[in-house]
Amino acid sequence: MEANKITFIVNPNSSNGSTEKEWPQIQSKAKDILGPFTTFMTKGQRHATRLARQAIGSGAEIVVCVGGDGTLNEVINGFANEKGSIEQGVLLGFIPRGTGCDFVKSISIPGDPESALKNILGRRYRTIDLGKMTFQDHDGQSSCLYFHNVLSFGLGGEVDERVNRTTKMFGGFVSFILATIISILLYNKKRIRLCVDDSFDEEVTSWNVAVANGQFHGGGMQIAPGASLNDGLFQITVVGDLNLAQVFWNLPKLYNGKIYEHKKITKLIGRRIEASSSQLVLLDMDGEQPGRLPVVVEIVPSAIRIISDDAPAHNTM
């Protein structure tokens, strides 16, 4: 296969900088398993998006992301063309190298690079939904991005901001749990106007609202037990008007799949969500903090094909 048919987009700063050190070894294994390919190294925020668009424009058949959920999000946004539609003739590969790597808890992609590379060789894929969000960026301008896992607003945005400006040397779980505890102590609940399709339209007092395609975010929190990546629906979790003691007492439920047992935590299902607030409410999109409310979120069914070892046998290219 020609080198330009497979393109690797590598974030050297992922996994707290260890990817840069380990890439030569991963690259050597990739050459043995896949043959020739092209490699691009990211050099800053949103660079992976530009590199993915460049690779697809140059005829890539497989674009492989090496990084965390944030880098994967950027690569997926590079699959969007100038009209905003997603390129469906290219396969997406993923070698997880991130702080949280929550997405792979909802889809069968090995954490071991060699196993992930063998999956890429087999080209078996699953078609998954994406979320499309129109929101206000940090400059106050309207912006549009896609997400593959979870969008949340409220406490999640505060946690992201704290995690991304501090060291991640202790790994995903510890980094996120420390940031979560600190943020809970400093955070004030927000009043959010929330609309879900034609079935829900209320102003809620909330710690956090999660619009979920996958089940996990925040370094292992199961924010949406039962959510599916390919059912054409979002699962929405509203963490409501709990007091501080209730939040800490119920924190374990975020990790054991029992989050909906509390009467002030609500589960909704929908395809289109609108949210706004008179207060500053930050967004958390796949582990990154791109802006604030207001936001409009829409499901894009069967949007992208991602290589996975639980894919149907007939799904090959």
Compute the distance between CA of residue 34 and CA of residue 19 in angstroms, rounded to an integer.
20
Compute the distance between CA of residue 138 and CA of residue 160 in angstroms, rounded to an integer.
14
List phi, psi (to 5°) of 227: -65, 145
Compute the distance between CA of residue 102 and CA of residue 260 in angstroms, rounded to an integer.
20
Q: Per-residue pLDDT tens for 183-229?
A: 777 778 899 999 999 999 999 999 899 999 999 987 788 999 999 99
- Token pair 């439920």: residue: 253
Strand 190-196 and strand 208-212: pairing? unpaired
Give the mean model confidence (pLDDT) for residues 296-301.
97
Long-range pairs of 197-201 with CB within 8 A, sequence gap ≥ 24: 197/270, 197/271, 197/272, 199/268, 199/270, 200/268, 200/270
Let me know the angle formed at the C-alpha of 64 by 62 and 68, rounded to the nearest 5 degrees. Answer: 155
- Structural domains in the chain? 3-129+303-307 (3.40.50.10330), 131-301 (2.60.200.40)
Mean pLDDT for the chain overall? 90
- What confidence score (pLDDT) does residue 163 get? 64
pLDDT band per the 50, 70, 90 thresholds, residue 5 = very high
Question: In DSSP terms, which residues pair with 195 in a beta bridge?
Answer: 201, 274
Q: Per-residue pLDDT tens for 265-294?
A: 999 999 999 999 999 999 999 988 899 999
pLDDT of 131 over the 90 cut: yes
Identify the H or E element spanning 121: helix 113-122
Q: Per-residue pLDDT tens for 18-72?
A: 999 999 999 999 999 999 999 999 999 899 999 999 999 999 999 999 999 999 9
Positive or negative: CA dihedral 189, 177, 244, 259 = positive
- Amino acid letter, residue 49: T
Compute the distance between CA of residue 215 and CA of residue 200 in angstroms, rounded to an integer.
22
- Token pair 């994967």: residue: 72
Higher pLDDT pick, 303 / 245: 303
pLDDT of 175 over the 70 cut: no
Q: Which of 185, 76, 180 lies closest to 128 in space, CA to CA?
A: 76
Helix (H/G/I), strand (E/B), else coil: 276: strand
- What confidence score (pLDDT) does residue 108 get? 92
- What confidence score (pLDDT) does residue 192 get? 97
Instruction: Give yes or no for a contact between 209 and 154, defined as CB atoms under 8 angstroms apart.
Output: yes
- What confidence score (pLDDT) does residue 252 get? 87
Q: Per-residue pLDDT tens for 52-63?
A: 999 999 999 999
**pTM: predicted TM-score of the whole model, two decimal places:** 0.90
